[in-house]
Amino acid sequence: MKIYRNAKLRQKKGLFDIWVDGEQIVSIRAHEDNTENKENIEEYDVAGRLVSAPYVESHIHLDYVYTANPVNEAESGTLFEAIDKWSDSKSDFTIDYVKALIYKGIYAEMSNGVQYIRTHIDVTDPNLTALKAMLEVKEEVKDYLYLQIIAFPQEGYYAYEGGDELVEEALKMGADVVGGIPHYEFTKELGEKSVKKAFELAAKYDRLVDIHCDETDDSESRFVENIAAEAFYTGLGNRATASHTCAMSSYNNAYAFKMMSKFKKSGINFVSCPTENCYLQGKYDGYPRRRGITRVDELLQAGCNVSFAQDSISDPWYPLGNGNLIHQVDFGIHLGHMMSPEEISHGLDFITVNGAKTLHIDDQYGIKEGGKASFIILDAPSEVEAIRQRAKIILSVHNGKEIFEREPEHIVKNLPFL
């Protein structure tokens, strides 16, 4: 038995003690100083810091991380140039090389409090090298990390010859989620056909869907309506996700307003990648320059689920990124104009509960009596301070195991006025 004492819990007043036995949280009680029978009990003093459910990475490409240099730096910094650069170089990669990248990405994320990852894996490769690497890693880390793999056709179902067959093959091999990228297909009709195909495959293999959708400033890119319609009519509902939907910020308000109720009715989730899309979009704007992210506030007001995600760590699409999702919260609430005290205090939802909904892991997620002992301790006393300071994670506990620990920041003050 171990007690994590003096813990601040999200959206709760006072301090709590979290009692852990083996893999489970057996009790959450108001903090008390003394406990009987101390010999059999280990203690950890949380010292009033915030304890949260682990971060959920709802959208990353683990097979791309740290490939910015081998693939050469993008010249224009646009999404489509990056896809071309990637296409030229990926065939040289081996399973061992991709596994090494994946492990570097996993380390970056886990050391910053992530314990659940949904990763897109490029399957527009006749050898499916990255998928083979990812499936091996998934098995190797399963005791420490929950991983969901998306069969993602980076170069399209139809723009890449045989892309649709490769997605299906990836699902047979064990991918958990059907991906797509309709705005990259040659025509609107082929984009729509690819969305339909993704939902057909999801029904055939009983999988989730997560589609890169309308990642462009083109206000005419409206594949999100196809995803909503397919989710509604097939009944897949909240098992489907539209990632990016950047074009939504360029839609006219009459169309966007009409669609909000349809999105809610369809049940689809949305994933926004604030830093990545702020960088990739707006490239053709001059000034005024758009911010690149979707209508996060309006989607939330309509009752839709939205999570924030990293997307890239130093790859052809984005030169920075470090796996620390609280940066995405900080950027996301700024770019989305969501800065009221109430909105800031719920900022961590974007990388915790909202991400868990998208991954469909609600049943195993959260800090609750009888639940799995999986949580993180932030070096901050509250949600607002955690975001304001972009707090570090000082302890990450997964199913009762302490998997990452970091010394709290300590500053020596030598100034006479402090």
What is the contact surface with Fe ion in residues (CB under 5 A)? Answer: 311
Q: Buried b / exposed e across 79-98, counting CB within 10 Å, b at 16+?
A: beebbebbbeebeebebeeb
Among candidate residues 187, 190, 256, 186, the one with its CA nearest the CA of residue 228? 256
3-state helix/strand/coil string of 368-380: CCCCECCEEEECC
Residue 211 and residue 195 in contact, taking contact as beta carbons nearer than 8 Å: yes
Residue identified by tokens 């009033």 is: 48
**HSE on the CB side for 155, CA within 13 Å?**
20
Among candidate residues 308, 373, 396, the one with its CA nearest the CA of residue 347? 308
Residue identified by tokens 């104009």 is: 337
Closest separation in Å from C-beta 30 to Fe ion = 43
**HSE on the CB side for 207, CA within 13 Å?**
27
Among candidate residues 353, 364, 373, the one with its CA nearest the CA of residue 44? 373
Closest separation in Å from C-beta 185 to Fe ion = 16
The residue length of the chain stands at: 418
* Residue of 155, 168, 185, 215 marked catalytic: 215
Q: What are phi and psi of 297, to 5 degrees?
A: -65, -40
Closest separation in Å from C-beta 59 to Fe ion = 6
Closest separation in Å from C-beta 312 to Fe ion = 7
Closest separation in Å from C-beta 252 to Fe ion = 26
**HSE on the CB side for 42, CA within 13 Å?**
7
Closest separation in Å from C-beta 243 to Fe ion = 6
Kind plus residue range of the DSSP H or E element containing 184: none
Residue identified by tokens 């886990």 is: 110
Q: Is position 215 annotated as part of the catalytic site? A: yes
The Cα 151–Cα 173 span in angstroms is 10
Query: Hey, which residues are catalytic here?
Result: 215
